Amino acid sequence: MNQEERRVVEGSDSPQQRKAGEGAKRVIFALAGGAALFVLGSIAFDFGIFGDTGSRPTPNSEDERVAAATYFKPPDESSIPDGPDGDAIRRGMALFVNTKTNASEFVGNELACANCHLDKGREPNSAPMWAAYLIYPKYRSKNKQINTMEDRLRGCFTYSMNGQGSPSGGPPPPGHPIYKDLQMYFHWLASGAPVGETLPGQGYPDLAKTDLGYDRERGAQVFEQHCAACHGSDGQGQSDLNGKIVFPPLWGPDSYNWGAGMARVNTAAAFIKANMPMGQGGTLTDQQAWDAAAFIDSQERPKDPRQTGSVAENAAANHGKDTYYGKTVDGRLLGTGTGS
């Protein structure tokens, strides 16, 4: 490696980058768009360096170490039992990590559950499934009903997995074995957790708005600097040489639709602040997280499946204020869908 190549690979790391640290990740981030990105990214996923299995910096401050010590620790995969229960748990984990492969009939994009619930649903502050499992059934204002865990999963397939674009045209029907296997996996992840309690690390941490609010033009700069290396400057993600999605698309036809929770700027900002860039969660400022979320969620994506009339009517019925749905950006009314 010559001096210039070494400079590109090693870079001039900021304190935040040094905190996140692993050299393999820096190589991937530095070589965005090149063959090394695909090869190393695929290796990293396959060996659990990050991605499907998630990754976070080792806690450096005392506050971080104290917080980490309070999080519930789900059981190790080596403890999955033999027999029918263990078989169902393993099927559920496979569905969660490789959703498009294992539930292809009901997935209409290139996302997996593990893209938003990191470390196979184990990662605190990434809406971990050991915490979610404990709080259902519960009332959800989104559909104004008491929801079971199966109801919640059906919503994920409908919105986050864009079920309307799948071969079946929708989510798995009620009672489908996919729901049973996923719930077995979640039940196992929550082994020993106190039922009915709100556990530290549940959901995505609340992120208060800054005095500047959020701005998609500022966000474009944040995205190019901190996100594009993995997700591409066009936001369409990156695949390895075998076509396997390594970094998920964030907008466009292969991403979540307008009905997904992540299409709300506040939800995306909270996720980004806690978890992004991959392996460097907590290193962006609050302002950067809000602005990056604004840029991402001001791009067109598949239609909201709840829309039966106009975009304006659906915006009034189903969308709050922290969304670009129904707004005109760069001369286009957002919400018409990627096929329009």
Q: What is the pLDDT of residue 243?
A: 84
Q: What is the pLDDT of residue 45?
A: 45
pTM of this structure: 0.83
Q: What is the pLDDT of residue 196?
A: 77
Q: What is the pLDDT of residue 338?
A: 96
E strands in 45-150: 138-140, 145-147
Please say whether the beta carbons of 295 and 143 come within 8 A.
Answer: no
Splitting the chain (340 residues) into consecutive groups of 10 residues, what average pLDDT does each group show?
A: 38 38 38 41 42 44 65 97 98 97 97 98 98 94 94 98 98 98 98 90 96 98 98 96 91 98 98 97 98 98 98 97 97 92
- Residue ranges in 282-330 assigned as alpha helix (H): 286-296, 311-318
- Measure Cα distances from 215 to 230, 269, 270, 293 in Å: 22, 12, 15, 9
Q: What is the pLDDT of residue 61?
A: 54
